[in-house]
Amino acid sequence: MNRRRFGLLAGGVAAIRPLPAAPAGMRRLKIARVNTVEVRGVPTGKGLVLPWDSSAKPQDTRDYVITQFFTDQGLIGTTMDGDGSLRTGIGREVQQRAEAYFIGKDPFEIEVHQAEFFLKQKAPVRLFFLELGLWDIIGKALGEPLYRLWGAATDRVKPYAATVHFLKTPQERAEDALKFYEQGFRAIKIRFHSLEPKDDLALAEAVMRAVGGKMAVMVDANMANTKKGDPPPAWDFERALYMARALDEMGLYWLEEPLNRSDFENLARIRKQMKKLHLAGGEGNIGLNDFRQMCAQGAYSYLQPDPVQSGTLSMVRKVTAMAEAFGILVGPHHGKSGLGMLANLHLQCAAPNSGFLEYMHDPGYWSAEGFQAGFVEPYPVEKTGYVRAPSKPGLGADWDRKFFQKHGLQFG
């Protein structure tokens, strides 16, 4: 197979050299065509109240943009992005930008595309998700699932049931946790956003009491966008420290985003005072520099970069390696779709410092079927508490033919 060669300039900066000629009998792949479609209004549940925006209209659906790359040798790479609501015309803009750059390009030249496309784009839409389609092609070209190309530290990861709906009682969430345990989950994430700290802590206490130590319990405070002076339920440093200490004493596994995503100094102050509780975050931070600062300043002990909104999948792999050097666990944010979750699964199976896999699961409010749009069925969680990596080449998604036909996508 062809690999890009690197030389070192003065000061240790890598210089990208042109690829050598392909060996006799082999042809480099080239992207010959791109197709992008919008899929809107996919049902995810009914009446979802988001903890970070509880005053907004309840959310019942998600929108997706799906791009397929077609190579000159018949391989197809499929990728997608999703959100509660994607702006009008996103498919057209993604299509235009992808066509303008990728036609005629070799999908294997990942670092070239990182430098020449992904790091140069100033588009009002996320484009990082496109790289997942390139990796899908690479895995298919080599006949291997991606985690095996990246190191195959394991073939399975423990998932956690990531709940989202805010307006559930402590008793209801405790009952949910026990149901999820029977379905194979050995961890659950709950959401805080009450005006009174005691109400949030009562929720954590109820779930911890119900699971009796047989499940890890995580808490997401969703405070990454808050700033000093914001009214309650926004947390200041004192409240964040108080809540972290209380959760640490209860034995919870992590507290996610207790302060603004750029407040590395105060996050590090809180982390230093924890006995066992991890501080987690990073889903909305963008680029290597933010994650370098997190690691260097000790802001988090568990990083959650997203392979669609934090940067490309390749960048998240670099963050994972950097975190390993600092003794930090990595469990990426969900990736905005079922396909993004699969990308995370491959990455985590290849990483020796992998944490839990985020598996969106809040039946009635945020269904796995709605989040994993386009799949034949939700990706299986084993009764033993694991999710296994796909065995098919590339990302290994088990796509639904009827879904593809309905939306003008090509199966392959």
Q: Is 182 among the domain residues?
A: yes
Element (DSSP H or E) covering residue 387 = strand 387-388
Tell me the two tokens of residue 77.
Answer: 């790479």
Mean pLDDT of 141-150: 98
Alpha helices (H) along 212-301 = 237-250, 264-271, 288-297
- The SS3 call for residue 139 is helix
- What is the dihedral angle through the alpha carbons of 145, 370, 311, 124, rounded to the nearest 10 degrees? 140
Tell me the two tokens of residue 387.
Answer: 């999710």
Together in a domain, 127 and 205: no
- The pLDDT of residue 235 is 97
Together in a domain, 213 and 358: yes
Together in a domain, 266 and 399: yes
C-alpha 237 chain-centroid distance: 27
Together in a domain, 69 and 188: no
Q: Is 411 among the domain residues?
A: no
Domain count, the chain: 2
Q: Would you say residue 17 has pLDDT above 90?
A: no
Tens digit of pLDDT for each residue in 188-245?
A: 999 999 999 999 999 999 999 999 999 999 999 999 999 989 999 999 999 999 999 9
Together in a domain, 113 and 187: no
Q: Is 205 among the domain residues?
A: yes
Q: How many Å apart are CA 298 and CA 272, to the nearest integer?
A: 8
Q: Is 210 among the domain residues?
A: yes
Q: How many Å apart are CA 170 and CA 220, to the nearest integer?
A: 15
Please report which confidence band the pLDDT of residue 328 belongs to, taking 50, 70 and 90 as the band edges. Answer: very high
Tens digit of pLDDT for each residue in 59-96?
A: 999 999 999 999 999 999 999 999 999 999 999 999 99
- The pLDDT of residue 26 is 56
Check which CATH number belongs to the domain holding 102 and give it. Answer: 3.30.390.10
Q: Is 23 among the domain residues?
A: no
- The pLDDT of residue 247 is 98
Q: Is 412 among the domain residues?
A: no
Q: Is 1 among the domain residues?
A: no
Together in a domain, 237 and 165: yes
Picking from 200, 198, 210, 201, the residue whose alpha carbon sits closest to that of residue 171 is: 210
Name residue 201's amino acid: L
Domain ends where: 88, 123, 144? 144
Percentage of the chain beyond pLDDT 90 is 90
Together in a domain, 211 and 159: yes
Helices 130-142, 90-102: axis angle to 10 degrees equals 50
Check which CATH number belongs to the domain holding 190 and give it. Answer: 3.20.20.120
Together in a domain, 328 and 353: yes
C-alpha 48 chain-centroid distance: 20
Together in a domain, 326 and 359: yes
Model pTM?
A: 0.93
Together in a domain, 388 and 245: yes
Element (DSSP H or E) covering residue 368 = helix 368-371
Together in a domain, 39 and 184: no
Together in a domain, 269 and 374: yes
Q: How many Å apart are CA 250 and CA 46, to the nearest integer?
A: 32
- Name 82's bridge partners: 64
Domain ends where: 126, 144, 162? 144
Domain ends where: 113, 144, 175? 144
Element (DSSP H or E) covering residue 132 = helix 130-142
Strands (E), 173-292: 187-191, 216-220, 254-256, 278-281
The whole domain housing 295 covers 148-406
Tell me the two tokens of residue 327.
Answer: 């003794």
Q: Is 24 among the domain residues?
A: no
Q: Would you say residue 277 has pLDDT above 80?
A: yes
Please report which confidence band the pLDDT of residue 122 belongs to, taking 50, 70 and 90 as the band edges. Answer: confident
